[in-house]
Structure 1
Amino acid sequence: MGNNRVRYRIHSRTSKAVAINNPVLDTEGLPRFTAIRAEHIEPAIDEILADNRRQVEAILASAVPQPTWKNLIEPLEAINDRLRKAWSPVAHMNAVVNNEALRAAYNACLPKLSEYYTELAQNARLFRALGTLRDSATFSRLDRAQQQTIDHALRDFRLAGVALPAREKARFKANAQRLAELAARFEDNLLDATNNWQKLLTDPARLAGLPEAARYTARQAAARAGEQGWRLALDFPTYHAVMTYAEDRALRHELYEAWNTRASDAGPDAHRWDNHPVMEEILALRGEQARLLGLRNYAELSLQTKMAPSTDAVLEFLEDLARRSRPQALAELAELQRCARDAYGLDSLEAWDIGFYSEQLRRRRFQLSAEDLRPYFPIDGVLAGLFAIVERLYGIRIAARGGVETWHPDVRFYEIRDAEGLLRGQFYTDLYARANKRGGAWMDECRVRWRRAEGLQTPVAYLTCNFTPPAQEAPARLSHEEVLTLFHEFGHGLHHMLTRVDWPGVSGINGVPWDAVELPSQFMENWAWERPALELFARHYESGAALPAEFFQQLKAGRNFQSAMQMVRQLELALFDFRLHLEPQPPTAARIYQLLDEVRERVAVLKPPTFNRFPCNFAHVFAGGYAAGYYSYKWAEVLSADAYARFEEEGLFNPQTGRAFLESILEKGGSEDAMTLFEAFRGRKPSIEPLLHHSGLTA
């Protein structure tokens, strides 16, 4: 055991010297983003993987026949933490500053990483050593987080095929490598298709209705290309602005078709980056992986690490919500159709009309547009308000810190400290849409909390969004929907950064079931609807005037505007994803759309046009870890709504309630069963009633 620790420490000192020439290998501090180049990536990963393989053999030699936490788990955590820290900035940069050389290096490493992790998880000697530790007398003397780490590891070994015969084990490993490559290809195709589409407008009349910020962004894009006019792209802020505000129906139709046929066999770039064969192969390999493990389908495999007890339970949950919400969704759609016909003379409401006429109806009913609110949500004010809210809830302090290397000039860096001034976490924010940046919003790990022999490793997060960037001299101003997005992602970040768990496998979001991990994020959104919270930050970017009372009343009154239509859309996606992974045979492209049509027939109230190729850009499921797990958003929303109901009962800023949520949920990570943690906070099992109430649905 002692010799093994010496070998690891010697290597750590050696790697620091090597890191002078290769910044990817410098994993002791924060990532050196400005120094990392594509040519650094593959050699660094090759070196770490080779060294890790040597270290695994040394660990086994030291731990067998008497494995302990000290001689088995700690050194394994050490080598894998170094690999995570080396790969984290690479994967992140590939998502936010993508270029051809970086993508090539990233994709070259994926099969190597997949091979390593599968090889590690199929190592029968490691599995036996873990089992020996689990069955030993020392196991009972470990703390709950340590026990959970071992139990999760044993489960993951089984799910990686450690017990399979040699031939099946090799097949499982090859499939895992191929799946990693296919997920990256799916995202690459989607990014390329998104970046490729551009449209230059020279007639200002075609921009009628668009907000000034969207016009400015389009004008700047044209100027950068040396053109006169307005250049539209498929970044989400532009797409959303056109679909919501553009009076030009033909323009809305054109963008709708371009957006919903990305990476497919249809639309303006038909067949160029077609994801259909990628999807077919992904689904076939996922099904084969499940069958190799003796399960009937991939949905069953997915649930092995989730809260939901069975595939039937998931289907029943989703279908019950659909039964409760579809009648109201049909009524909401009928109202929208009447408005479009009676007020605007539109006889037939098409998919590219929904966003526009919904906004018109919202204005007529509530005398308020989403754009009316935007001046009251300047980005710096929203961040300050968000920080003030969590400071009051959890007794923490958040402050910006300069002098930190980043990957783009827009990026900012912050630190979280507790009431005693101790550092609890750090995070980067990258908030604006730009070319070569993956769409959407997400939180990801840069560093995981881990109590090493050298001291405590502070958790570090990436918080990424795609908001409309600043226009001219004015600051970036968020829509209320974007405020909700920021609060959501920061909830994930708090879960990662405020953990008190010292072991990486169950620290922060690690080890948390996928259908519970959205609890802290959805929970945080609630404060963006409350007057006492909005008073902390909703101020006009020029005058400093607070959000007028009538605006707040109209905002609150519109909270559940078309909420049932939104509910059935999410249920449509969740049921489609889940049924797709229940298929007994690998679905063809035709079967994918047949399944989607069947789900829509039962749940949806809007039927898109035949050219719609939504599955080809459903990255959550085909590249983002939500396979047979998209239902998690609604499952966790039951938990988050019920958790928030306690604050409604006891006070939005009640410090005792905030401390209880911090200690029961945020600090515990994956160290205990998710339902046990929820019941510790709520004092009972979750109820669906708060979700129905918050969604404007009758029980």
Structure 2
Amino acid sequence: MTSISSELHLVDFADPAPSTLQQQVISAIDAANAFLDELTVMTETKEASTPIDAEQALTDIKDFDHINLALDRSWGILSHLNSVMSNDEIRHVHHELLPKLSAYGTRVGQHQPLFSRYQAIINDKAFFATLEPARARAIELALRSFELSGVALPKTEQDKFATIQSQLSTLSATFSDHVLDATQAYVLPLKQEQLTGLTDSGLALVADAGEQYKTNQLANGSLTQTEVDALPSPYYVASLNMPVYLAIMTHADDRHLRETLYRAYVTRASEFDEHTNAKGESLNNADIMSQILQLREQKAKLLGFNNYAEVSLSTKMADSVAEVETFLRDLAVQATPTAEQDLAQLQKYAQDYGIKDLQPWDSAYIAEKVKQSEFSLSQEEIRSYFPLPRVISGLFAIVERLYGIKVQEQSNDSANNSTDKSLASRWHDDVRFYQLFDADDNLLGGFYFDLFARSGKRGGAWMSGFQSRYSYNKQDHQQLPVCFMVGNFTPALDGKPSLLTHDEVVTLFHEFGHGLHHLLTQVTIGDVAGVNGVEWDAVELPSQFMENWAWDAEGIALISSHVETSAPLPKDKLDALLAVKNFQSGLQTLRQIEFALFDLLIHAQTPVLDYKGILTTLNSVRDDIAIVQTPDYNRFANGFSHIFAGGYAAGYYSYKWAELLSADAFSKFEEEGVFNPITGKAFRETILSVGGSFPAKVNFENFRGRSASIEALLRHSGFADTNNQTKNSTAANAQTTRKVI
């Protein structure tokens, strides 16, 4: 087993108690503030008579960047633990630090002496021209960041800006808390008759949820040991954790159960949610949402923008709100004919199951019946062919063929074991650590997989670029990239390894695409290394691009084999899986556009919307875009963490924008060979390796040799054929009409 390189600077997860991390964060902020104080003194004395030269300015910037490593590390660890191992102690420390971090971030963004150093560099055109492209790009992006932090505002308005930033950080954290608490507070004990239709893996999931329920009830004192022992075994419980929720919504024959669970899910953290947190406080996010929008609008107006959507787009590829709205609405027009066919197919099959009025809680259930009938595809049978160990080894084999890289697992047998320093410490038994090497066995970076759903873990899937590639020659400090890749997949049950649905396989490929973007960078300036500095509407390009190999026959052969027999996926099932790729793609696209347009419009609206206005806007968007009716009680927005607690505010459209880029990029592989190593090398060198050191548009055009085209997206989504059929049908009808006339 290869030892761990010191250049990875791995965390000992047995060591950092929340209180220790809190002190480390405070100490790091104090050290950075002391440096800023020193710059201020220098400005008021020496620089008052002698302007700073560009070379010294760059030295000061590099020194300040290095000082901030300690903060990035300590806060990064605490934030990560708050997402994957949240408890009252971690959450309390995390939230207590938010105002301090916000105040520090605002001070940096408004610090005139630091700002003047960046100005000195860019104003010295001869010196600026000598900088490597990555450094020049980092300087340009930093200057833009200063402007968006209010560096040019009068002192009174800077203070107002700082207050807004602090309030926003606290409100976003509370929003996220409410969604997590509401999700985990819901439990519904199930009767035997409600289990009809559930697959073996579904039954195992609700039984496992029942065991967790018993443990939690005993731990919080709600039930005694005698009362727990009196409960049936197995004890079946429905929850809103995604694997359990999907198992029921997809397979449970009990329509009332599906509706009950659907209602619970779409009313989380809303006025319809009666759950409270540990302090007895309501989890309703309604007021928080309107407060966040109000503060974002105030921030936009202080910076001279008309609305917050303009602030968001100022750092993205898209130029304007109008451009994004036009893109979304045009794509909706392209998707609607296919979506109408999708809906008609579901409605037809629903009739066969006695459902006259198809509702949202029926969609996944009926869709599964359609797959079994039309494509002879059973998700349960398919799941047996995607055991997680096989999927992971196949994924690694794919990227080795594409990019000439190798992955080696390096995990000890028990979490938090730091006695052997050649092993990687972990925060949970489920976690695995890997090292990434190039073809010449040079270490490129390291990554952690934390893939299973559990209590205290935020829902969804994400890649956290915890540590960037970075060099600081002054102290001979070399740092390789490290990231966390997190999922909420079905855990191992009944003595078998985790068996993934194909949707979960696609999600794993998606997050690994993000991970490769972070790990394969050759840039050593942290601000533009990996995913850093990449425009938000382009950062999903490598992730969505990677999904294509989960839909390729040769790729599927590498990631699939039966969990018991090791037999390959039979040809009929492979053909069915490939045929189902665009199943319901029209409805799914309209759903994504609905979310994206809603996000854009609530942030572009002036005056700012209250909660009622938010819901009215959502309903208006649904009237324009959706073709499936949504119940009045649906409060999807109250759990929309991407835009109220994440980085996607007025940027959720990025998924579709980047999907266009990824589809067009993959079309080059379709032309030249899906596993063509020359094309893979080109993608690595022009997209993955350069990070944010050039604008995303430049990177894409360097790879593709031209500007992006929407044609591949329409083709990959199955819209082109449908639209052509519609046009041909319309033309034929027109000819028939003319003949009659």
Q: Which residue of structure 1 aligns with residue 698 of structure 2?
A: 676
Q: Which residue of structure 2 aligns with residue 251 of structure 1?
A: 257
- Asked whether 1:432 is paired with 2:452, we answer yes
Unaligned runs of 5+ in 2: 1-5, 215-227, 412-422, 724-741
Q: Secondary structure at the match of 1:305?
A: coil
- Asked whether 1:219 is paired with 2:225, we answer no
- Asked whether 1:527 is paired with 2:549, we answer yes
Q: Shift of residue 490 of structure 1? A: 0.3
Distance in 1 of aligned mates of 2:131 and 2:358: 62
Q: Shift of residue 607 of structure 1? A: 1.8
What do the CA deviations read for 1:629-677 (whole angstroms, capped 9, x no partner)?
0000000001000000000000011111000000000000000011111
**Aligned match of 1:330 in 327, 340, 343?**
340
Q: Shift of residue 425 of structure 1? A: 1.2
Q: Secondary structure at the match of 1:551?
A: helix
Distance in 2 of aligned mates of 1:244 and 1:491: 28
RMSD between superposed Cα atoms in Å: 1.5
Q: Which residue of structure 2 aligns with residue 34 of structure 1?
A: 14
Q: Which residue of structure 1 aligns with residue 583 of structure 2?
A: 561
Q: Structure 2-normalised TM-score?
A: 0.89
What do the CA deviations read for 1:534-568 (whole angstroms, capped 9, x no partner)?
11121001101000011110111111111100000
Structure 1 118/335 Cα, relative in aligned 2: closer, same or farther at 3 Å? same
Structure 1 548/469 Cα, relative in aligned 2: closer, same or farther at 3 Å? same
Q: Which residue of structure 1 aligns with residue 293 of structure 2?
A: 283
- Asked whether 1:633 is paired with 2:655, we answer yes
**Aligned match of 2:97 in 99, 109, 117?**
109
- Asked whether 1:370 is paired with 2:412, we answer no
Distance in 2 of aligned mates of 1:407 and 1:308: 39
Q: Shift of residue 437 of structure 1? A: 0.4
Distance in 2 of aligned mates of 1:668 and 1:679: 13
The correspondence of residues 401-440 of structure 1 with structure 2, limited to 5 A, is 401-402=410-411, 403-440=423-460
Distance in 2 of aligned mates of 1:397 and 1:632: 30
Range with greater deviation from structure 2 (668-677 or 445-454): 445-454
Q: Secondary structure at the match of 1:416?
A: strand
Distance in 2 of aligned mates of 1:243 and 1:512: 37
**Aligned match of 2:130 in 129, 138, 141?**
141
Q: Is the 8 A contact 1:282 1:622 kept in 2?
A: yes
Distance in 2 of aligned mates of 1:169 and 1:102: 31
Q: What letter is aligned with 1:233?
A: S
Distance in 2 of aligned mates of 1:60 and 1:506: 27
Q: Is the 8 A contact 2:205 2:243 kept in 1?
A: no
The correspondence of residues 274-353 of structure 1 with structure 2, limited to 5 A, is 274-341=284-351, 343-353=352-362
Q: Which residue of structure 2 aligns with residue 194 of structure 1?
A: 183
Q: What letter is aligned with 2:302?
A: L
Q: Shift of residue 70 of structure 1? A: 4.5
**Aligned match of 2:518 in 496, 513, 524?**
496
Query: How many equivalent residue pairs?
Result: 672
Q: Is the 8 A contact 2:22 2:93 kept in 1?
A: yes
Q: Which residue of structure 1 aligns with residue 729 of structure 2?
A: none
Q: Secondary structure at the match of 1:424?
A: strand
Q: Secondary structure at the match of 1:87?
A: helix
Q: Shift of residue 56 of structure 1? A: 2.4
Q: Shift of residue 215 of structure 1? A: 1.4
Identity of aligned residues (%): 43
Q: Shift of residue 309 of structure 1? A: 1.1
- Asked whether 1:464 is paired with 2:473, we answer no
Q: Secondary structure at the match of 1:693?
A: helix
Q: Secondary structure at the match of 2:178?
A: helix
- Asked whether 1:74 is paired with 2:80, we answer no
Q: Shift of residue 28 of structure 1? A: 8.6
What do the CA deviations read for 1:614-642 (whole angstroms, capped 9, x no partner)?
10000001001100000000000010000
Distance in 2 of aligned mates of 1:89 and 1:333: 45
Q: Secondary structure at the match of 1:347?
A: coil
Q: Is the 8 A contact 1:59 1:76 kept in 2?
A: no
Distance in 2 of aligned mates of 1:389 and 1:61: 55
Q: Shift of residue 58 of structure 1? A: 3.4
Structure 1 302/352 Cα, relative in aligned 2: closer, same or farther at 3 Å? same
- Asked whether 1:50 is paired with 2:30, we answer yes
Q: Which residue of structure 1 aligns with residue 114 of structure 2?
A: 126
Q: What letter is aligned with 1:421?
A: D
Q: Shift of residue 221 of structure 1? A: 3.0
Distance in 2 of aligned mates of 1:47 and 1:529: 48
Q: Structure 1-normalised TM-score?
A: 0.94
Q: Which residue of structure 2 aligns with residue 649 of structure 1?
A: 671
Q: Shift of residue 268 of structure 1? A: 5.0
Q: Shift of residue 362 of structure 1? A: 1.6
Q: Secondary structure at the match of 2:558?
A: coil
**Aligned match of 1:510 in 532, 541, 544?**
532
What do the CA deviations read for 1:585-638 (whole angstroms, capped 9, x no partner)?
121111001101110111001121111111000000100110000000000001
Distance in 2 of aligned mates of 1:356 and 1:217: 17
Distance in 2 of aligned mates of 1:580 and 1:178: 19
Range with greater deviation from structure 2 (295-304 or 606-615): 606-615
Q: What letter is aligned with 2:170?
A: E
